[in-house]
A = this chain, B = another copy of it.
Amino acid sequence: MDPRISKHAKILVNYSTQVKKGDNVLIQLNDYGKDLATEIYKEASILGGSPLILTTPTEAVRGYYELTPEEYLRVFPEHYYELIKASDVVISIRSDENTRYLSNADPERISARKLTVKNIDDERLRKRWCLTLYPTPAYAQEAEMSLKEYEDFVYSAMLLNWDKEKEKMDEIKKIMDDTDKVRIIGKETDLTMSIKNRTTVVSDGTHNMPGGEVFTAPIDNSASGKIFFDLPSTRYGKEVHGIRLKLEKGKIVDYSANKNEDFLKAMINTDEGSIRLGELGIGTNRNITKFTRNILFDEKIAGTIHIAIGFAYKECDGINESAIHWDMIKTMKPGQIILDGEIIQKDGKFKWEV
């Protein structure tokens, strides 16, 4: 076994979720990653935690959407809810054997199901949760790398000194916590919003491994202007290119995409909350230098910002609610992040980095 898998497991258990005696630990994965799950299982056992591994193969999920009769999409998985409620720690490992397994699934069926299980997703976010990734050939393929190169990429982004990373990000948080007006300027982009009295959260490797972003929730009726996302957004195996959004008083009033605009439309129209922004984030992980078509990494690329439609995180004091939370990323070269009139980042570099 690659010794980095063991190190990864130790970080997740000891640093990210801090497992202790009596903790009910749930480990979730898809296709690959049995060795990582096993290492987490053992590390948790050493600390007196009770681990369980839940596997949801991508083919099972695809088959579910293809085969389940319409009326059954509303069936609530009571046992899953009870399992999540009784868990203290939830570690989710993305480990798809094929990232496009839902490319031809019906997005309306997916949204319907999401609404049915929303309580469960909400409950999970009340736990000590962490989302991470196990390098698979499918992710390497998306990243246009060999598996070997992709493993190096993944572990270089994750096996960091997280205390040090946290310190750097805390500096940005300090500024943003005191900020009212944010202005984002860039290619085809001039967007303003308020983040007044919202809390900026530092992604220090607790909830996401890798960490490496600071993010907050915009004031719900504040976003106005336009923004162009040069990087594609993927979801359920769909890739949406060249998203342009126009916002007024916090609402998306116009949108377009160069590819898969229908899918963008379905996502925006999921519910009342998906027409508003749930997040503004700034990437800070200097070991993530390449766009790899994976939001867990892409949103942390140093020199990018991202915006999500849909639900806001409670830790940011956000109030927007939705069944979805979908990120869109933009490189800031060229670009400026202006906080209360002051340029704090220009062309991807913070003012103290220049």
A residues with CB within 8 A of B: 21-22, 24, 26, 29, 31, 34, 37-38, 41-42, 45-46, 48-57, 59-60, 63-64, 67-69, 71-72, 75-83, 85-87
Contact = CB atoms under 8 A, between A and B. Distances in A.
B53 A56 contact: yes
Contact of A80 (B29, B42, B50, B55): B50
Given A21-B75, A55-B55, A60 B41 contact: yes
Contacts of A77: 24, 50, 52
Contacts of A45: 63-64, 67-68, 72
B55 A60 contact: no
Contacts of A41: 57, 60, 63-64
A46 B22 contact: no
Given A41-B64, A82-B82, A85-B82, A75 B50 contact: yes
A315 B31 CA distance: 38
B75 A86 contact: no
Contacts of A21: 72, 75
Contacts of A76: 50
Contacts of A78: 24, 50, 86
A163 B77 CA distance: 31
Contacts of A86: 78-79, 81-83
Nearest to A63: B42
Contact of A64 (B26, B42, B60, B82): B42
A182 B22 CA distance: 48
Contacts of A54: 52-55
A48 B116 CA distance: 14
A32 B319 CA distance: 44
Given A82-B86, A83-B86, 12 more contacts: A24-B80, A29-B55, A31-B34, A37-B57, A37-B60, A38-B59, A41-B57, A46-B67, A46-B68, A48-B68, A52-B77, A54-B55
A45 B31 CA distance: 19
Contact of A57 (B22, B53, B72): B53
Contacts of A53: 54-57, 60
B69 A60 contact: no
Contact of A55 (B34, B46, B63): B34
Contact of A83 (B67, B68, B82): B82
Counting from the closest, the 8 A-B pairs by CB-CB distance are A50-B77, A24-B79, A79-B86, A42-B63, A41-B60, A82-B86, A48-B72, A83-B83
A51 B60 contact: yes
A22 B69 CA distance: 13
30 contacts: A21-B72, A24-B78, A24-B79, A37-B57, A37-B60, A38-B60, A38-B63, A41-B57, A41-B64, A42-B60, A42-B64, A45-B64, A45-B72, A46-B67, A46-B68, A46-B69, A48-B71, A48-B72, A49-B75, A50-B77, A50-B78, A50-B80, A51-B60, A52-B77, A52-B79, A52-B80, A53-B57, A53-B60, A78-B86, A83-B83
A51 B268 CA distance: 29
Nearest to A22: B75
A65 to B, nearest CB: 9
